[in-house]
Structure 1
Amino acid sequence: MEIYVGENDGPYDHSNSPSEVVKRLVEPIKNSHRNIVMDNWFTSFPLLRDLLNDYGLTALGTLRKNKAEIPPVFTATKDREVHSSLFGFQDDCTVVSYVPKKNKVVLLASTVHHDGKKDSGEEKKPEMIMDYNRTKCGVDVVDEMCATYSVARATKRWPLVLFYGILNVSGINAYVIVKANKVNSGAVMAQKRIALK
């Protein structure tokens, strides 16, 4: 988590560009060969290359249609069939343009996918999109849980807003730990029962 403190000249003067924020956030997992999933605010081709080459991390994210690196054929929807996909491959980066419905296109870029695999279902979704949909939910779930069980109160004081946010995330972290311990303790109990027989 990184707190946005605005522009300042003090010791917390950092670049707030999306790519710099991502690089600071992934520093603790550098060279762990994990995959980073991000939305179109953060995804850019230079960032994907930096994460792969300098940080030892792969990445998958949606793209905005106005990126200069995207060829116009990837954003055009006029002559494209619904559920059609268009792939672009370059070195260690793959781009897909998928038409989920008429006059709409979804763009994704990945450094973990290197082929044009598609689902065999009716929608013929590319594997990249299915992986993104399967793993993007972390932020959405946290937002939903914070909204449902929030401790926050209306205030104009930013330290209190920050405090409430930390309490909300701490509550979710505690829930995850308790849930994981129940699953693990259930498995341990099952193993003990088997050992006793």
Structure 2
Amino acid sequence: NRDKEDGRDGFSLSRRVRALFFPDLIISSPQAIDYGQLASSGFRVALVDIDNTLACHGSHVCDPEAAAIIKKIQDAGLVPVIVSNARTERARAYAGSLQLEFIARAKKPDARAICRELESRGCLPEHAIMIGDQLLTDVWSARRAGIPVILTDKRSNKEIFTVRLKRPIEWILIRCGGKARWQALRDNYSSLIKE
């Protein structure tokens, strides 16, 4: 019973976890996202993470897979912007290899840099979409900024130590928020697509 799961007052732990850490959609790869469907639903800007979303961790230049993803985003009429916690030099090098604008040292889950970027573009949060692979950075920052978010499976199992430390916390958050509800988000565009 959903009432029991959520609690009568609507402020249960599972509901709070879902509000902060559950994405709108879970998908295998940024390559698998239907960007045309997003654009036709009013999305204008795609905020895309680098590490383990577009690229294997630590990449300084794009590879053909990342270039193909960015082309799909642009062909759909969306403006891709790199959003990364990486140092400025690396984010600049990576974004430059794709000829994209970027936000470096975004300090996700802090949402201020993201909000400033959208404001500078005259883009409302509901017209932007965040795409990333981590709950505690990408999803949480999007939620704090009021931006819909797509979580992708991580591109590679190679992750830095600090990210590996976060993965068990993600597992706990998924259990707290409700595994069935989590699984219902996979390949389900219903919360993103406006009829």
| TM-score of the aligned structures, taking structure 1 as reference length | 0.26
Q: Select the structure with the greater relative contact order (CA < 8 A; seq sep ≥ 6).
A: 2
| TM-score of the aligned structures, taking structure 2 as reference length | 0.26
Higher helix residue share: 2
Structure with max Cα Rg: 1
